[in-house]
């Protein structure tokens, strides 16, 4: 069975590696090893994913019946606000940058560590302080404004503690900016000799673009938050019409950041799937360079399409035209990426492995998102569907079907490298198919409900919408199972999993030239063969 691991170098006694270098709690809490910091992030974001996931299940449960019978509207509002902010700021963005970016980038460029190892650790602590406090505020009642914190409701009318919540999310986002800066400096400064820019793997390019988007986009979120907190504290009349301010200023700044946040979650997914397809088709990707250019094009178009979230906010015709055109154009680089993947799969060896099946979830969800995104890119249908379940469903295909599934694909692909152990292929493949069914069953009904006019953010609705909401709940439960199973068999593999050598997938990449798990100093005492890196044979037509 080709997908099965191959014991290239039988491992008798455990080699000294970053996991067994020291077992003291202090060696973890004060580590500057990027690989250990990635595990610290993994533990932290797993907690928040569980909290955000539990909130999602409660929301779905409430939406099972047309009546508001499980909770009052106020609780429902606090729950979806808590779910949204937790999943975006405390789970998915730190999962992509903090877990995967941290663990993989130095290994993939032949480096011993991040450019600023101590800053890397401090960044995790900043994130934890911001994140834990956010959860404490949520436990103390949370806020009921929605994750968008629109004014004037969040500045004048809500009685909930908006100021603390938004300032705490800023702290955890500040940590992500510092991490993004660290990643950019690492790619510029720490590359092994001979690993030129033209030789960089697609995933490293994806993180390069993602980090720049983070550094450019996040300050707009900071400004929006500071203006909001200032308005709440001193009623200066900037973003609240009650005091002569303009709420559109806040919305424009918020979406300048939030729109980039979506790309921060999906750009790494493009890199992850590209690496997995190359590794299992055993061929250099079709249009390798085209995918890199497409990611840069996406980042540029993102900067001109944030206003597609504001078609219903009385923007000028010219503004709608500009934002709509840029939004429609994002489908072009996405299509280039999908076509390159399809051509590579068509011409390459086809190894059905667990990482490949998770990659399939990403590919199908991205295809679905391109189509549903086109409908939202027109000011006509976009303003009609704004605030309906259609927008929420489209968003979830991106953050769950594309980003979260790609995170799982990455964890399954690089787990043998990170732990030196292989997990049950059978259960992993079952899980990937469970996630595929779960994503489409949980979120496709939302597209139909939105087209039929069901609003988002309501916990009571006309009875004719009940059946599709019941299907969505079933899907959410299947998805919940799909996210729980990996926790069991991956943890199990640490104790009973088959021990693997440096390169169980026979993939090309500098990370596979290290031991599994790698030495504390990565390539310690091992020659780095740069020519070998990513030297997949070219595609033959």
**Half-sphere CA count of 277, side-chain side, radius 13 A:** 33
Q: How far is the CB of 55 from ligand HEM (least distance, A)?
A: 8
Give, as ranges, the residues between 420 and 459 that touch ligand HEM (CB under 6 A). Answer: 442, 456-457
Angstrom distance (rounded) from CA 21 to CA 520: 7
Specify the residue, 54 or 174, whose C-beta has the smaller distance to ligand HEM: 54
Residue 479 in the binding site for ligand HEM (CB under 6 A): yes
Q: Using CB under 6 A, which of the segments 126-134, 246-254, 391-399, 533-541 binds ligand HEM?
A: 391-399
Specify the residue, 166 or 187, whose C-beta has the smaller distance to ligand HEM: 166
Q: Are 249 and 217 in contact (CB under 8 A)?
A: no
Q: Using CB under 6 A, which of the segments 163-171, 364-372, 399-407, 422-430 binds ligand HEM?
A: 399-407
Q: How far is the CB of 308 from ligand HEM (least distance, A)?
A: 16
Token code pair at residue 393: 């469903």
> Residue with structure tokens 């900037």?
238
Give, as ranges, the residues between 25 and 84 that touch ligand HEM (CB under 6 A). Answer: 53, 56, 59-60, 80-81, 83-84
Number of residues that bind ligand HEM (CB under 6 A): 23
Q: How far is the CB of 505 from ligand HEM (least distance, A)?
A: 27
Q: Using CB under 6 A, which of the segments 15-23, 370-378, 397-405, 408-416 binds ligand HEM?
A: 397-405
Residue 92 in the binding site for ligand HEM (CB under 6 A): yes
Residue 508 in the binding site for ligand HEM (CB under 6 A): no
Angstrom distance (rounded) from CA 294 to CA 209: 11
Angstrom distance (rounded) from CA 170 to CA 156: 21
Helix residue ranges per DSSP H, 87-116: 93-94, 102-108
For 349, phi then psi, to 5°, come to -65, 145
Residue 478 in the binding site for ligand HEM (CB under 6 A): no
Specify the residue, 253 or 456, whose C-beta has the smaller distance to ligand HEM: 456
Give, as ranges, the residues between 143 and 162 that touch ligand HEM (CB under 6 A). Answer: 146-147
Q: Are 393 and 336 in contact (CB under 8 A)?
A: no
- Angle (nearest 5°) at CA 504 between 500 and 509: 125
Q: What secondary structure does DSSP assign to 127-156, as a single string?
A: HHHHHHHHHHHHHTT---S-TT--TTIIII
Q: Are 315 and 307 in contact (CB under 8 A)?
A: yes
Q: Which residues pair with 519 in a beta bridge?
A: 522
Specify the residue, 11 or 481, whose C-beta has the smaller distance to ligand HEM: 481
Contacting residues toward ligand HEM, per CB under 6 A: 53, 56, 59-60, 80-81, 83-84, 87-88, 92, 146-147, 392, 396, 399-400, 404, 442, 456-457, 476, 479
């Amino acid at each position: 069975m080709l997908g099965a691991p191959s014991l290239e170098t039988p491992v008798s006694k455990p080699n000294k590696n970053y996991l067994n270098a020291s077992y003291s709690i202090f060696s973890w809490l004060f580590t500057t090893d990027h690989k250990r910091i990635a595990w610290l992030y993994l533990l932290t974001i797993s907690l928040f994913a569980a909290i955000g996931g539990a909130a999602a299940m409660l929301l779905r449960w409430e939406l099972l019946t047309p009546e508001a019978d499980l909770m009052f509207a106020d609780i429902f509002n606090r729950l979806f606000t808590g779910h949204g902010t937790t999943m975006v700021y405390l789970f998915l963005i730190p999962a992509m940058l903090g877990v995967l970016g941290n663990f993989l980038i130095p290994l993939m460029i032949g480096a011993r560590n991040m450019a600023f190892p101590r800053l890397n650790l401090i960044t995790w602590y900043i994130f934890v302080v911001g994140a834990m406090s956010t959860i404490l505020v949520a436990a103390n009642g949370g806020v009921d404004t929605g994750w968008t914190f629109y004014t004037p409701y969040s500045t004048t009318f809500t009685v909930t503690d908006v100021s603390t919540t938004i300032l705490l999310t800023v702290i955890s986002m500040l940590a992500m900016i510092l991490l993004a800066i660290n990643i950019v400096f690492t790619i510029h400064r720490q590359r092994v000799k001979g690993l030129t820019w033209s030789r960089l793997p697609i995933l490293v390019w994806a993180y390069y673009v993602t980090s720049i988007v983070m550094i450019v986009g996040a300050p707009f979120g900071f400004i929006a938050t500071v203006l909001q907190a200032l308005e709440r504290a001193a009623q200066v009349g900037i973003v609240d019409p009650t005091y002569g301010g303009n709420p559109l200023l806040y919305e424009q700044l918020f979406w300048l950041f939030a729109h980039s946040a979506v790309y921060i979650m999906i750009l790494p997914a493009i890199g992850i799937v590209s690496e997995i397809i190359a590794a299992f088709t055993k061929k250099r990707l079709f249009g390798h360079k085209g995918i890199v250019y497409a990611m840069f094009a996406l980042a540029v178009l993102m900067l001109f399409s944030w206003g597609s979230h504001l078609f219903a906010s009385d923007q000028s015709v010219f503004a709608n035209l500009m934002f709509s055109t840029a939004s429609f154009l994002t489908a072009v680089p996405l299509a280039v990426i999908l076509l390159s993947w399809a051509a590579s799969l068509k011409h390459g060896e086809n190894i059905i492995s667990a990482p490949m099946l998770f990659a399939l979830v990403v590919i199908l969800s991205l295809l679905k998102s391109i189509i549903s995104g086109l409908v939202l890119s027109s000011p006509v249908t976009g303003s009609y569907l704004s605030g309906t379940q259609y927008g929420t469903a489209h968003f979830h295909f991106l953050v769950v079907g594309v980003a979260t599934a790609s995170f799982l694909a990455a964890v399954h692909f690089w787990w043998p490298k990170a732990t030196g152990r292989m997990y049950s292929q059978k259960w992993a493949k079952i899980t990937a198919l469970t996630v595929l069914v779960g994503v489409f069953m949980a979120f496709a009904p939302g597209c139909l409900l939105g087209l039929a006019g069901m609003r988002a953010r309501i916990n009571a609705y006309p009875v004719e919408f009940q059946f599709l909401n019941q299907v969505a709940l079933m899907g959410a439960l299947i998805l919940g199972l799909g996210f729980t199973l990996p926790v069991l068999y991956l943890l199990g593999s640490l104790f009973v999993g088959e021990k693997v050598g440096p390169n169980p997938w026979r993939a090309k990449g500098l990370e596979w030239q290290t031991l599994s798990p790698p030495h504390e100093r990565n390539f310690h005492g091992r020659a780095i063969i740069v020519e070998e890196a990513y030297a997949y044979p070219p595609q033959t037509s």
